[in-house]
Amino acid sequence: MFIYFALYCLFSLLPIGPYMFDSPTAAAAALAGSLAGVMDVLSPEFIKDKTGQTGRLNVFIVLDTSGSITATDFNSSRKATIDLIRKLATYEVQIRYHVLSFATEVIDIVDILNIYTRDNENRVISTLEDFDPKCHGPKTGTNLFAALSKVNEKIAFLKISEKKHFNETQNVIIIQTDGYSNIGNKSSLALKMIRSTLGYNYTAIDHTHERLLDVYVFGVGSKVKKEELNSLASKKRGEEHLFILENYSNLGKVFNQIISDKTVTICGLAQEDVPDDSSFYTHPWHVTFAGVRTKQKCSGSIISQNWVLTAAHCFGRKGSDQVPHKIEIKYGNKLYGESSVMSKQVIMHPKYNVEGLKQRNVKEFYDYDVALVEVDTPIPLSWKARPICLPCTVPANRAMKKVNSTCEQHRNELILLNRTSVSFIQKTSQGLKRKETHIHIGNQRRACVEKARNTISDAEVTLEEYVPERFFCSGGTINKKDSITRKGDSGGSLFLEKRKRFFQVGVVSWGTHGSDDVSSKFPPSDARDFHINVFKMMSWLKKYLGNDIQFLSDVN
């Protein structure tokens, strides 16, 4: 970690050459990955509670109006800012604005303490459009310290006056400047005051933990002092907060390309901070339905408004089997309102065949045990029904706050170790509950898979043929109490959490002790479960989901 930040700081000190500007497209992608993540977790579906509260966000926009800024440049900066405000307005988040102009002195254009203007998008824009930068008169210095001190002053006032919601409100500071401070104290001192006001360690070089603060800095032109701007921008792992652009026109291009992509679904959101005795939607992607082949209950996961991912064995013994009638798919919660949709079609993987190894004395073989269910009407997305993130897709990329990632990078991000903690949903006497287990890969996989040998004692197959790499193996972790699946869990998601978002990495398929009679609380030491690895199914998934979900470019 020290090396990472040392290199980050070293390169930030290099002079800006004629070919070292960020392109608008690259800057927009990086900013979208970071800022969209901030906005997504503030959506009402993510944090809504009994009182109907929604996310809160304070946006402080700091505009440079010093002597080096021409009228054309300021108008470009203003237009870009207006575009940004309009983009932010597309999110269902309570946003309040403070817009200020700084030269030698600071002028508040939109005051966050003005209840008439601060949270009304049109009034904020109208006030900004009416502002005349000539109001600064002959005082044309660049006092960024004064500007950020004003921001700190407002945050400090809100901390006192709004104690109830202050610790629930995120603060985003967006700085636009073409140069460097030539009057007043060091601007970094003001940032230290802001961090202190918010209760953060102002000497920290890693700001990843600063949940309530993001500082984005846009340096425009060839005269920017990158060292100073770098000292202001947040430094969070896997994110970019400092951008150097060639001109103010490019700033407008950046803001135009970010955030409001209506084709990108916000995935993997779930209510987390709830009382133990509540029945809030901690797994809004989970669905249940009656299986066709065995009539037993099966589970699945919402991956878009139109599609549910589940196990093929819920419907037949071969991928070519036809599902004779529509399936009712239930989602939500009985206590707070259960809803349902009907299936339009069921698509099982063509290579799925329970009898595929029958000639070699294997009674049941579950390779490629995966299916897609298309619903006849789109599932209304809300806080009780929300898709889980599917890796190797653009929505998942945004959730991870990544830029131009590959499918392999997604896998490495999610499956970090030979033993990775994961969860699945299980129906209990107290309702649906998350159960914890671990999947074993690498040099730990074989020992896990070995326990499946007891189910094929008379078979003429190798263990590798019976449990190929398309399966994750879970259970039996040393010094851990791994839960095991039961009947009815089949088809459900095997998932994990990353950056407060949930990603599906597997589909629950079969187990060595899958029975209602086996205690999930105290399972046998040799109990193992096997799950279809979704990373191995990406090409097939893209074939049917490509019109609904945008996959990463390397998924063929």
For residue 81, what is the domain's CATH number? 3.40.50.410
Residue identified by tokens 């999610």 is 414
pLDDT, tens digit, 9 for 90 and up, residues 311-342: 999 999 998 888 877 899 999 876 667 889 99
pLDDT, tens digit, 9 for 90 and up, residues 187-234: 999 999 999 999 999 899 999 888 889 999 999 988 888 888 999 999
- In order of 86, 134, 253, the CA distances from 79 in angstroms are 11, 17, 10
Of residues 457 and 58, the one with the higher pLDDT is 58
Which runs of consecutive H residues, i.e. helices, occur in 285-428?
394-399, 407-414
The span from the CA of 188 to the CA of 553, in Å, is 40
Of residues 156 and 261, the one with the higher pLDDT is 156
Of residues 334 and 94, the one with the higher pLDDT is 94
Q: Which two tokens stand for residue 29?
A: 């992608």
| Residue 471 shares a structural domain with residue 329 | yes
| Residue 355 shares a structural domain with residue 441 | yes
Q: State the pLDDT at residue 40.
A: 54
| Residue 163 shares a structural domain with residue 220 | yes
Average pLDDT over residues 443-458: 89
Residues 6+ apart with CB under 8 A from 446: none
Which amino acid is located at 116 in the chain? Y
Q: State the pLDDT at residue 38.
A: 62
Select from 412, 509, 520 the least CA-distant residue to 468.
509
| Residue 344 shares a structural domain with residue 485 | yes
For residue 118, give its domain range: 14-257
Q: Is residue 197 part of a domain?
A: yes
Q: Is residue 60 within 8 Å of residue 98, measured between CB atoms?
A: yes
Catalytic residue among 207, 313, 410, 440: 313
For residue 526, what is the domain's CATH number? 2.40.10.120
Catalytic residue among 73, 214, 369, 489: 369
| Residue 249 shares a structural domain with residue 297 | no
The span from the CA of 140 to the CA of 138, in Å, is 6
Q: Is residue 275 part of a domain?
A: no
Residues 6+ apart with CB under 8 A from 187: 144, 145, 147, 148, 181, 228, 231, 232
Q: Is residue 347 within 8 Å of residue 371, measured between CB atoms?
A: yes
Q: Establish whether 369 is a catalytic residue.
A: yes
Q: Which two tokens stand for residue 349?
A: 């993987």
The torsion of the CA quartet 460, 462, 467, 473, rounded to 10 degrees, works out to 130
Q: Which two tokens stand for residue 277?
A: 């005795």
Q: Phi then psi for 469, rounded to 5 degrees? A: -65, -10
**Neighbour tally for 231: CB within 10 Å:** 19
Select from 323, 309, 281 the least CA-distant residue to 508.
309
Q: Is residue 269 part of a domain?
A: no
| Residue 111 shares a structural domain with residue 149 | yes
Catalytic residue among 231, 304, 405, 490: 490
Order of all β-strands in the sheet with 169-177: 106-110, 94-102, 56-64, 169-177, 213-220, 242-245
| Residue 445 shares a structural domain with residue 330 | yes
Select from 236, 263, 219 the least CA-distant residue to 33.
236
Which amino acid is located at 126 in the chain? S
Q: Establish whether 278 is a catalytic residue.
A: no
Which amino acid is located at 169 in the chain? T
pLDDT, tens digit, 9 for 90 and up, residues 519-530: 556 778 889 999
Q: Is residue 105 part of a domain?
A: yes
The span from the CA of 348 to the CA of 79, in Å, is 51
| Residue 36 shares a structural domain with residue 145 | yes
Length in residues, the chain: 556
Q: Is residue 551 part of a domain?
A: no
pLDDT at 52 over 70: no
Q: Is residue 506 within 8 Å of residue 467, measured between CB atoms?
A: no
The span from the CA of 235 to the CA of 241, in Å, is 7
What pTM was estimated for this model as a whole?
A: 0.62
Question: Could you tell me what percent of the chain has a pLDDT over 70?
Answer: 85
Q: Which two tokens stand for residue 404?
A: 């131009």
Total structural domains within the chain: 2
The torsion of the CA quartet 210, 399, 220, 141, rounded to 10 degrees, works out to -30
| Residue 298 shares a structural domain with residue 252 | no
| Residue 366 shares a structural domain with residue 481 | yes
In the three-class reduction of DSSP (H, G, I as helix; E, B as strand; rest coil), residue 286 is classed as strand
56: β partners: 94, 169
- In order of 265, 462, 543, the CA distances from 240 in angstroms are 22, 49, 33
Which runs of consecutive H residues, i.e. helices, occur in 467-527?
none
Cα 414 → chain centroid: 12
Q: Among 48-52, 178-182, 419-423, where is mean pLDDT lowest?
A: 48-52
Q: Which two tokens stand for residue 527?
A: 């109990």
Average pLDDT over residues 344-366: 94
| Residue 242 shares a structural domain with residue 296 | no
Q: Is residue 247 part of a domain?
A: yes
Q: State the pLDDT at residue 433.
A: 87
In our burial notation (b when 16+ CB lie closer than 10 A, e otherwise), range 360-378 reads eebeebbbbbbbbbbbeee
Q: Is residue 491 part of a domain?
A: yes
Q: Is residue 263 part of a domain?
A: no
Q: Establish whether 320 is a catalytic residue.
A: no
In the three-class reduction of DSSP (H, G, I as helix; E, B as strand; rest coil), residue 353 is classed as strand
Average pLDDT over residues 127-134: 94
| Residue 241 shares a structural domain with residue 293 | no
